[in-house]
């Protein structure tokens, strides 16, 4: 309620926010979470909460009147279409040089992601966050995060014979024939449910292309894991369709937090303020960075340091497809949950996820999302003329990532006598180099904050999401975001509450 006072306020309900809420609540602290997206608990006219990949609708995009699908074209045809403006689940947020895809709703990115739950190799983690004790991370916090998220591995015997993973087996064959290490990747999907889908015993979900616009059944999103446990404490409340617009020191101590309540077309219904003793920024790398950059520049939080907005990267994301021969079909039934990757990080700076292309027809395409070792880092800055936060990303920087991905796919193409697909991202375009799924950084650990996420310049303000990680995680990031949040909140609960 407007005007009320809370002990801990958490901005955002993704991985960092959910970990903070659960651990604070278990320590006896009352927590209020503010989320600008919807709760995603009510079915539409088709009886489903979420739409699938082949038929996006009003539920699928955040406040757009036309879809902006990551794969914009197929066989030369543009796929995008008009939709009613709605607080949909996937935000394609446009900056000058890059489109950043993010989940919107209670559960954040867990609502839209592929569920790939990858713990990086220890030496790579140590290189990315050298001030964090890697021994503690691998003995305590990564295991805690994996357990909390419900991470498990696919049954290899089932995988070998399942029609829906033919695309992944083709990916393995091509990787191994070119001498690349092929690795299985754990996931948060309920594999027993997927087996039942394949057997026709339950409604199809991953096997019906349900992923980037939400998943109706088998995926263990944060709604089913951390947030369910947080709710069970009885100490956590959540306001959905509420957007934090300002945080500033309150005259009587603590912070005044300004929040806009919006309707499902994005129109502001009410502007409210609450006070909080402590505030956790968990709005995601972009959300947290945009808020902090603006609040510093406009005088709401002037004592934040000069590292705010810096160290942002795209995790080196780049996508591509390969055109297979007719004797290498990838299958018309493809599970939307990836299970496999090609690890060429040491030799070529690329880790490629063998991704699904769940179109429902045989495409003869192998599709990949590569995570690459990119040195490029952009900065968020406040633009007083437009009243917006800009990001200094340069599209040309993706060439480093393309070159890294080519260390894998040029070699596979040469070995297999195949070529790249040129129909997936617009006419004659091979590389999906306009986007990222993995925004990281902007309020980097040990730079904008201390070594546990306490913002420099203020007492009682914390960053606890992907903004802490400096631009690159070497693998898909959510397990690392969760594990780092587990590490930081343990210290914060012990020392600050």
Min dist. Cβ of residue 291 to ligand FAD (A): 6
Q: Which of residues 407-446 bind ligand FAD (CB under 6 A)?
A: 437-438
DSSP annotation string for 455-470: BTTSSSEEE-SGGGS-
Min dist. Cβ of residue 18 to ligand FAD (A): 8
Task: List all residues 6 or more positions away from 55 whose beta carbon is below 8 Å from its beta carbon.
Answer: none
The DSSP H or E segment spanning 411 is helix 398-416
The residue assigned the tokens 């959540």 is 238
Q: Does 35 bind ligand FAD (CB under 6 A)?
A: yes
Q: Does 23 bind ligand FAD (CB under 6 A)?
A: no
- State which residue, 256 or 413, has the beta carbon closest to ligand FAD: 256
- The residues facing 268 across adjacent strands are 262
Of 34-42, 124-132, 191-199, 443-451, which segment contacts ligand FAD by CB under 6 A?
34-42
Of 45-53, 172-180, 284-292, 486-494, which segment contacts ligand FAD by CB under 6 A?
284-292
Instruction: Choose, by CB under 6 A, the member of 29, 297, 481, 484 that binds ligand FAD.
Output: 481
Of residues 315, 420, 311, the one with CA closest to residue 371? 315
Torsion of CA 382, 383, 387, 392, to 10 degrees: -80
Neighbours of 11 (CB within 10 A): 28
Build a one-symbol-per-residue string for 285-314: x at contacts with ligand FAD by CB under 6 A, - elsewhere: x-x---x-----------------------
User: Active-site residue numbers?
Assistant: 353, 438
Assess contact for 432 and 424: CB atoms under 8 A. yes
Assess contact for 155 and 191: CB atoms under 8 A. yes
Q: Does 379 bind ligand FAD (CB under 6 A)?
A: no
**276, exposed or middle or buried, with CB in 10 Å at 0-12, 13-18, 19+?**
buried
Instruction: Choose, by CB under 6 A, the member of 21, 170, 279, 283 that binds ligand FAD.
Output: 283
Structure tokens at 138: 């691998």
The residue assigned the tokens 């980097």 is 444
Instruction: Choose, by CB under 6 A, the member of 56, 114, 148, 470 that binds ligand FAD.
Output: 114
- State which residue, 14 or 309, has the beta carbon closest to ligand FAD: 14
Q: Does 15 bind ligand FAD (CB under 6 A)?
A: yes
Assess contact for 105 and 89: CB atoms under 8 A. yes
Q: Does 198 bind ligand FAD (CB under 6 A)?
A: no
Q: Which of residues 241-270 bind ligand FAD (CB under 6 A)?
A: 243-244
DSSP annotation string for 172-219: HHHHHHTTPPEEE--BSB-HHHHHHHHTTSS--SGGGT-STT--SSSB
Q: Does 112 bind ligand FAD (CB under 6 A)?
A: yes
- The residues facing 344 across adjacent strands are 350
Instruction: Choose, by CB under 6 A, the member of 6, 8, 25, 34 that binds ligand FAD.
Output: 34
Min dist. Cβ of residue 237 to ligand FAD (A): 14
Instruction: Choose, by CB under 6 A, the member of 13, 69, 215, 401 that binds ligand FAD.
Output: 13
Q: Does 484 bind ligand FAD (CB under 6 A)?
A: no
Q: Does 11 bind ligand FAD (CB under 6 A)?
A: yes
Min dist. Cβ of residue 35 to ligand FAD (A): 5
Q: Does 165 bind ligand FAD (CB under 6 A)?
A: no
The span from the CA of 360 to the CA of 234, in Å, is 43
The span from the CA of 313 to the CA of 315, in Å, is 6
Q: What does the radius of gyration of the chain's CA atoms come to, in whole angstroms?
A: 22
Instruction: Choose, by CB under 6 A, the member of 6, 8, 10, 16 that binds ligand FAD.
Output: 16
The span from the CA of 17 to the CA of 223, in Å, is 12
- State which residue, 113 or 166, has the beta carbon closest to ligand FAD: 113
DSSP annotation string for 371-396: EE-----B-EEEETTTTEEEE---GG
- State which residue, 243 or 434, has the beta carbon closest to ligand FAD: 243
Q: Does 212 bind ligand FAD (CB under 6 A)?
A: yes
The span from the CA of 370 to the CA of 405, in Å, is 6
Q: Which of residues 77-106 bind ligand FAD (CB under 6 A)?
A: 101-105
Assess contact for 227 and 13: CB atoms under 8 A. yes
Size of the site for ligand FAD (CB under 6 A): 39
Q: Does 218 bind ligand FAD (CB under 6 A)?
A: no
Instruction: Choose, by CB under 6 A, the member of 8, 49, 116, 402 that binds ligand FAD.
Output: 116
Angle at 314 between CA 313 and CA 318, to 5 degrees: 150
Binding site for ligand FAD (CB under 6 A): 11-16, 34-37, 101-105, 108-109, 112-116, 212, 243-244, 282-285, 287, 291, 437-438, 465-466, 476-478, 481
């Amino acid at each position: 309620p407007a005007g009320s006072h809370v002990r801990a306020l958490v901005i955002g309900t993704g991985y960092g926010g959910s970990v903070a809420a659960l651990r604070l609540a278990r320590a006896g602290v009352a927590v209020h979470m503010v989320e600008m997206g919807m709760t995603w608990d009510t079915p539409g006219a088709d009886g489903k909460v979420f739409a699938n990949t082949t038929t996006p609708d009003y539920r699928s995009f955040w406040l757009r009147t036309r879809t902006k699908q990551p794969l914009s074209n197929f066989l030369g045809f543009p796929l995008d279409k008009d939709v009613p403006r709605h607080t949909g689940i996937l935000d394609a947020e446009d900056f000058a040089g890059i489109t950043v895809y993010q989940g919107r709703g209670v559960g954040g990115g867990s609502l839209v992601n592929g569920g790939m739950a990858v713990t990086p190799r220890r030496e790579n983690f140590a290189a990315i966050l050298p001030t964090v004790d890697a021994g503690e991370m691998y003995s305590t916090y990564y295991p805690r995060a994996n357990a909390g998220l419900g991470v498990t591995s696919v049954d290899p015997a089932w995988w070998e014979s399942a029609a829906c993973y033919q695309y992944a087996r083709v990916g393995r064959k091509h990787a191994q024939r070119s001498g690349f290490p092929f690795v299985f990747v754990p996931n948060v999907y309920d594999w027993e449910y997927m087996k039942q889908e394949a057997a026709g015993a339950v409604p199809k979900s991953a096997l019906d292309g349900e992923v980037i616009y939400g998943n109706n059944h088998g995926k263990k999103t944060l709604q089913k894991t951390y947030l369910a446990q947080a709710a069970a404490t009885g100490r956590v409340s959540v306001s959905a369709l509420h957007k934090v617009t300002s945080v500033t020191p309150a005259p009587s101590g603590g912070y005044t937090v300004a929040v806009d309540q919006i309707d499902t077309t994005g129109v502001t219904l009410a502007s409210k303020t609450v006070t909080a003793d402590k505030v956790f920024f968990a709005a995601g790398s972009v959300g947290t960075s945009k808020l902090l950059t603006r609040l510093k520049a406009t005088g709401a939080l002037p004592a934040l340091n000069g590292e705010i907005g810096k160290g942002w990267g795209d995790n080196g994301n780049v996508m591509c497809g390969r055109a297979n021969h007719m004797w290498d079909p990838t299958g018309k039934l493809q599970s939307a949950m990836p299970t496999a990757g090609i690890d060429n990080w040491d030799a070529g700076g690329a880790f490629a996820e063998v991704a699904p292309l769940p179109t429902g027809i045989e495409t003869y395409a192998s599709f990949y999302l590569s995570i690459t070792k990119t040195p490029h880092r952009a900065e968020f800055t406040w633009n007083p003329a437009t009243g917006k936060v800009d990001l200094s990303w340069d599209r040309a920087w993706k060439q480093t990532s393309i070159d890294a991905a080519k260390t894998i796919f040029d070699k596979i193409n040469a070995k297999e006598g195949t070529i790249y697909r040129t129909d997936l991202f617009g006419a004659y375009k091979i590389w999906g180099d306009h986007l990222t799924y993995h925004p990281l950084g902007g309020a980097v650990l040990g730079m904008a904050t201390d070594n546990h996420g306490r913002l420099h310049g203020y007492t009682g303000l914390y960053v606890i999401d992907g903004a802490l990680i400096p631009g690159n995680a070497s693998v898909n990031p959510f397990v690392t975001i969760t594990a780092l949040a587990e590490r930081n909140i343990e210290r914060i609960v012990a020392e600050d509450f």
